[in-house]
Amino acid sequence: MNTEYLKITGEHYNDAEVIDRAARVIQNGGLVAIPTETVYGLAGSALIPTSAEKIFSAKGRPADNPLIVHIAKPEEAETLAYTCDAYYKLAERFMPGPLTMILPKKGIVPDEVTAGLDSVAIRCPSNDIAHKLIEASGHPIAAPSANRSGIPSPTKAEHVLTDMDGRIDMIIDGGECDIGLESTVIKLTDDGCVILRPGAVTEEMLAEVCDVVTVAKAVIEPSVAAEERVESPGMKYKHYSPKADVILVDANMTDFVAYVNANSDNKCGVFSSNEYRTHFTSAATLITGEHPSARDESKSLFHLLRKADEMGLERVYIKLPEAKGEYLALYNRLIRASGGKIVKPE
């Protein structure tokens, strides 16, 4: 298959024309990779069963891992799912944005989208291109991250091209994703919600709207056994992993530097702020920012994991962040990317 690569701000196409062409691909059952505020998504109609099948096959995604359905406005969930007051209360505060809510599904949503579950994941993206495409296509859009399954998610169109060239109909290049980590996924409960996957909408932010917010155990478990039943199927897979081994080091900065220097050769890399780059004597530094905030580290994570592979590194050291607040999402992706490998220097 020939994959068309279109830049939304390029010289040759104005925005409306690109959106229009992409909308026709979606309506005809094809796949388009699109930017969202979280990561690039692999978009297909959520109403056409064969579109969902194509998404699974292009990604090599395990068949039991359901897709998130993207809508343009919160009330569009009505045709797809059974909503409730809590949904609208959360939607008012967090939609459009990086929050996905699991709701009981209606019959119109094909089983191919929900992997046979009786619930459906609903999100309303804030990215302008994603938003316009949903509106122009007139379809709700199923869109997982636009990477081959198991490897780091794409945060730039070049990443998508590397993974999906020849496998999908079109890629829209809309620049780098703002957030760089996938959406927060929650399940509603009688008195609040449970976080199934942490993201930029944090536990603390949800607590401003919900009485009780809890975090599912699997979110911070270094490894989830394949046979274990988890509420969100995506939580049990090795995920976000580059070819290089990711080694998380649970230490303060001084001990981290000492550990990396004692255990590195020229095939090793280390995630570092610009400020600390000169402290590392042999590992190649992958720079997360000048004085990186949680947001900066989140935004650069997947790009740097991919870069580690481009550099041919065999091992990458990363200082383990705290499993709370704005760092919880980063912590969750890191323990998945590392396959649970955490070292604690003496």
Full DSSP string of 123-168: E----HHHHHHHHHHTS-EE--BSS-TTSPPPSSHHHHHHHHTTTS
Q: For ligand AMP, which stretch binds (CB under 6 A), given 13-21, 62-70, 219-227, 247-255?
A: 62-70
Which residues, other chains included, contact 234 with Cβ-Cβ below 8 Å and sequence gap of 6+?
65, 66, 197
Q: For ligand AMP, which stretch binds (CB under 6 A), given 112-120, 158-166, 259-267, 287-295?
A: 112-120
20/76 with CB nearer ligand AMP: 76
| Residue closest to ligand AMP (Cβ) | 234
| Cα separation, 9 vs 7, whole angstroms | 6
Per-residue contact flags (x/-) with ligand AMP for residues 13 to 42, judged by CB under 6 A: ------------------------------
User: Residue 182 interacts with ligand AMP (CB under 6 A)?
Assistant: yes
Q: Of 325, 269, 271, 323, nearest to 295 (Cα)?
A: 325
For 14, the token pair is 């104005």
User: Residue 144 interacts with ligand AMP (CB under 6 A)?
Assistant: yes
In the numeric block, the tokens 């870069």 are attached to: 307
User: Residue 120 interacts with ligand AMP (CB under 6 A)?
Assistant: yes
**Half-sphere exposure of 49 toward its Cβ, with a 13 Å CA cutoff?**
7
Among 49, 233, 325, 345, contact with ligand AMP (rule: CB under 6 A): 233
196/268 with CB nearer ligand AMP: 196
119/285 with CB nearer ligand AMP: 119
CB 150, CB 7: distance < 8 Å? no
Provide, rounded to whole angstroms, the least separation between the CB of residue 64 and ligand AMP: 9
Task: Kindly provide the residue ranges of all beta strands, DSSP E only, lying in the chain, ordered along the sequence.
Answer: 4-7, 32-34, 41-45, 68-70, 99-104, 119-123, 141-142, 170-173, 184-188, 192-197, 212-215, 245-249, 268-272, 284-287, 315-319, 342-343
Among 145, 298, 332, 338, contact with Mg ion (rule: CB under 5 A): 145
Among 66, 152, 174, 180, contact with ligand AMP (rule: CB under 6 A): 66
Q: For Mg ion, which stretch binds (CB under 5 A), given 62-70, 140-148, 157-165, 243-251?
A: 140-148
Residue 32: strand, helix, or coil: strand
Kindly list the residues in this chain that would bind Mg ion in the complex (CB under 5 A).
Answer: 145
Kindly list the residues in this chain that would bind ligand AMP in the complex (CB under 6 A).
Answer: 65-68, 102, 114, 117, 119-121, 144-145, 182, 185, 196-197, 231-235
